[in-house]
Chains A and B, each alone.
Chain A
Amino acid sequence: MQLKVKNYLDLTLFYTKAYLLTEFRKNYLGIFWVFIEPACYFGIYYLVFGFFLGGREEGFAEYLMTGIASWHWFNKSLLSCSSSIYSAGKIIKKVNINKLVFPVAKSLSDGFKGLVMFTVLTVFLMMIKGQGVNFLLLVIIFLLNFIFILSLNLVVSLLVPFLPDLRSLMPILTMGMMFCSAIFYYIAVVPEKYRIFLYLNPMYHIITTWRSVYNQGDIELFVIGVIALFSMMLIVLSILLERKLSKVLPLYVL
């Protein structure tokens, strides 16, 4: 039986909660890890790049932390979500269900952790820089970051059952993307002729936008619009793909 829309929404939200509860209950400190992990990361990066290597570049620690936060969320979510349909085989083989429930719920649970991470970062940056941020722009860039991650998660998780090698390929692809995202260096150090690789990478633009929001710099609305449109198109493609493959997927999952 195909579940109704309201039931799907409830199921997706319940799965989101279940993914988080399952993770928290594995540790003694439970939900506090959501705060502790990013706080520790940012503290260490600030100490190393802002204090011990302090004289190197003004504001480099903040630059690095923003890039790492956005990348960490993207990379962790994409890698864990890629197998979400494939490994839900026991359920998919027994229930006539929309398969996108699993990557959507996983993306939402990762999105919650991303929200906490950026909240911690925002407070941290406001404290060390002693200046405010535009919260509306923060919400917009957060949603853009989320929609982009969600769209890739949906497409990849639908493809993995048919192309299981993607699971091994994903870490290599994301590593390539990471080096084209200007996380650890300024774009100025990249020769002009190679900058195209960064410009073609949506994560470079998302990270750059995060940095602009924190630095109260200019936002490239056109680029944001293109990434949002691209993400929406991928989401629509995933919905159509799921409809097409729904009855075949149970034969390819674990």
Chain B
Amino acid sequence: MSSDSKNIVKLDQVCFRYPGATEGNYALSDISLDFKRGQVVGVIGNNGVGKSSLLKIIAGIIEPTSGRVLVNTDSISLLSLNLGFDQMLTGEENAILQGMLMGISKDRIYGALDKIKEYSGLQNSFYKQLKTYSTGMISRLSFSVTTVLESDLLLIDEVIGVGDNKFRKFAQSTFEENKEKRKTIIVVSHNLKFVDEISDVVVLLDNGILDKVGEGKEIIKYYRNNYGN
């Protein structure tokens, strides 16, 4: 852990190569980054450039092949919509399961169930099996669990593009709420407009290499001009 409490994540010359990949074929190569507490960081780049691998390394799910990762909190969630969700379980049961998978204690989850139900707007559907839910309802449930059972560091991997406009508005207000609470959010997305609206800093990856880091509008403009997006 870093002694600098302002930095919540520090990556130092991180390289990652998938098992079986040829020598020199790195998914991430020599990545050095610092993220400060309370920052909202957007990670952009074309498909297969290492964005998801970067999040997994920060979350501690996989280890870098070389380099160092320092994460200054134990409270990390990698938000994946419908994490561990089961169609045969109720919304409430799935909320408990997702909370437990996020590493939250059972008591805290049970204490927050009413708030999750209220935040999701699911009302009595909260107690019905997930197989009766629409995609939007499932997304709202998952987002509500993550928001109500807040973590210091929230990692979000491409979940914004999946819902309709109503869900995107719901997601955006959730992001704003997290921002106000000084939670650090690192979000991977292809939705450049969304990334621009919410991010303090944007990281552009290209074939596993850190191409540019900086203010959102500048990086997105550079990305559009140089990568034809």
Contact = CB atoms under 8 A, between A and B. Distances in A.
A162 B32 CA distance: 32
A108 B63 CA distance: 31
Given A22-B88, A22-B89, A25-B88, A7 B60 contact: no
Interface in A1-39: 1-4, 6-7, 10-11, 14-15, 18, 21-22, 25-26
Interface string B79-91: 0100110101100
A11 B61 contact: no
Interface residues of B, number: 30
How large, as a class, is the contact surface on chain A? 20 to 34
Contacts of A94: 59, 61, 78, 80, 83, 157
Interface stretch (A63-71, A132-140, A183-191, A244-252): A244-252
A14 B86 CA distance: 13
Contacts of B101: 11, 91, 95, 97
Nearest to B84: A91
Contact of B61 (A6, A10, A15, A250): A250
Contacts of B56: 93, 250
B89 A95 contact: no
A96 interface: yes
Contacts of B75: 1
Interface in B12-31: 18-19
A10 B63 contact: no
B102 interface: yes
Interface of B: 18-19, 56, 59-63, 74-76, 78, 80, 83-84, 86, 88-89, 93, 96-97, 100-106, 129, 157
